[in-house]
């Protein structure tokens, strides 16, 4: 196969891969968000004390994953990485505020400002992971 044909085949493969990501990422982010919302709005059972700060680690992990998915989706679909990161930050922090506020109405749940901070830190961690991943992807895709 000639060099030109090889480059053309590689480009076609990259286009197919990007097209698949454009279709999958919004669904993945949406399903992830629904699962996260469901988990944070289930009434907690009364019982013995929980492990200290475990819920903060869970919030952090949930929002790191969410921000990574949303930023990747925004980048493959609409925006440059920096713009996608800013939009993702705003979306995730808005969702975190709504999430914490609506937990007031759930039995054995409360709106904890420390959870919001954990959500924000998780969002920043996800975005910090996003930039090296997008650089790697652009070099190898």
Cα dihedral 42, 46, 49, 51 in deg (nearest 10): -20
- Is residue 95 very low, low, confident or very high in pLDDT (cuts 50, 70, 90)? very high
Q: What is the pLDDT of residues 126-139, one digit of tens each?
A: 999 999 988 887 77
pTM: 0.81
Distance CA 109, CA 98 (A): 14
Helices 81-102/113-140 angle, 10° precision:
150
Q: What is the pLDDT of residues 35-88, one digit of tens each?
A: 988 888 888 776 656 666 788 898 999 999 999 999 988 888 777 889 999 999
Mean pLDDT taken over the chain: 85
Alpha-carbon separation of residue 40 from 1, 35, 49 (angstroms): 54, 9, 18
What per-residue confidence (pLDDT) applies to 141?
60
Q: Which tokens hold the place of 104?
A: 């007031």
Q: Which tokens hold the place of 83?
A: 């713009």
What is the average pLDDT across 12-25?
A: 78
* 97 or 45: which leads in pLDDT: 97
């Amino acid at each position: 196969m000639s060099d030109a044909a090889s480059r053309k085949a590689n480009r076609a493969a990259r286009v197919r891969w990007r097209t698949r990501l454009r279709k999958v990422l919004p669904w993945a982010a949406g399903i992830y968000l629904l699962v996260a919302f469901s988990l944070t709005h289930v009434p907690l059972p009364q019982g013995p004390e929980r492990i200290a700060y475990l819920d903060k680690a869970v919030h952090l992990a949930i929002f790191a994953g969410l921000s990574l998915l949303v930023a990747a989706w925004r980048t493959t679909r609409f925006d440059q990485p920096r713009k996608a990161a800013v939009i993702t930050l705003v979306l995730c922090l808005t969702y975190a505020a709504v999430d914490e506020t609506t937990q007031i109405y759930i039995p054995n749940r409360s709106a904890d400002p420390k959870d919001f901070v954990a959500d924000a830190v998780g969002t920043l961690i996800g975005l910090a992971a996003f930039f090296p991943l997008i650089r790697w992807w652009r070099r190898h895709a």
